[in-house]
Structure 1
Amino acid sequence: MRMTLYELAEKLSCSVVGDGSIEIDGVAGMEQAGPRQLTFLANPKYAAKVKQTRAAAVLLQQPVEGVVSVVSNDPYLDFARALALFYQPPRPAPGIHPLASIAASATVGEHCSIGPFAVVGEHVTLGRNVVLYPHVVIYEGASIGDDFLAHSHSTVREFCRIGNRVTLQNSVVVGGDGFGFAKAADGTHHKIVQSGITVI
């Protein structure tokens, strides 16, 4: 993806000082950025590096003479927003892999993608556009909203409730048991049943 610096600045609600017709095809840190990339200055202690960077332009709070500047109230935030414009992680196509296990009582919303060896338990509700990567497990009775994404080996335990636009990174467990034990007079420990749920 490419866009002119003017186009990028408009999307970020920033202004350009210098040549706004430069084509930008990505963003990078100040030392790594190349001649078609945008970088940023958020910490004044690195100001000297602005003149040394190979970047096409720099996001900063005040323009620097001789440097194509994208003037921003919050360069770090706008750098993060620019990164999201240029990089969209791959997303699997909708569909249920034949090696996934979906309980008959589960409700699966439209345009969901469920990978191999994912498990969706009894009475689970999945919203629209849910992505479950391989080996994700959703326990019985869990309720999950729209645009949920669970990376491989993550787990949502029984009856937990998750809202819209939540992402679980690899191996996350939502609703796992806490560390609760009651100590008996003889020194033995009795596990306290974790009867609550997690709501996100």
Structure 2
Amino acid sequence: MEDVAGKLLPVLQALLPGFLATVVFYWLADAKKPAQFEQVIQALICTASIKFIVDVIAGVALWAGQWHSFGAWTTNVATTWSLALAIILGLSLAYLSQHDLLYKLARRVGLTSRASVGEWRFAFLRFSDRGIVLNLKDGRRLMGYPYAWPAEPENGHFVMQYPTWIVGEDAKPQDGVSFLMVANTDVQWVEFLEPQGKPK
């Protein structure tokens, strides 16, 4: 048993940066977690990328060491660089995903028509400066600014800022109410209004 643990521990230590990067990404990103096998593949890809960068840093450090010594390059130094790069990679991927930057570039050059997040989340991120109207299943309509919205179209809640009920052609603000939470299961569809400039 000790022999198996002794052989398995270095493998786990080598894979740790990739798993750490994916954990940080899925903690922060508004993305669905894939199946476990796919997560392992993603962690392996991140591990290989991080190892390549650490090897480059080691080469540069050893080359620069000809003129100025920063200390010995040890396995602890390499591990520290690996873990730091894993966190940076996870944070960077979450930022790129949240702001749709890579997919925006890919759409511009015609590689895809997709967004980094699903259509539901993309619409709310793309039109975050606009008010919306929630058309409820019982026929009522609620206008306001989405302070928060569900991650998925099937469940969750809307947190509406400056809630205003629309009755016929009239708007009836909710006096004394700053926010109103509405279950997504009560919403039939969502209208995005023209930009008006969000109230302060």
Normalising by structure 1, what TM-score? 0.24
Normalising by structure 2, what TM-score? 0.24
Q: Per residue, is there more helix in 1 or in 2?
A: 2
Higher RCO by CA contacts (8 Å cutoff, separation 6 or greater)? 2
Q: Per residue, is there more strand in 1 or in 2?
A: 1
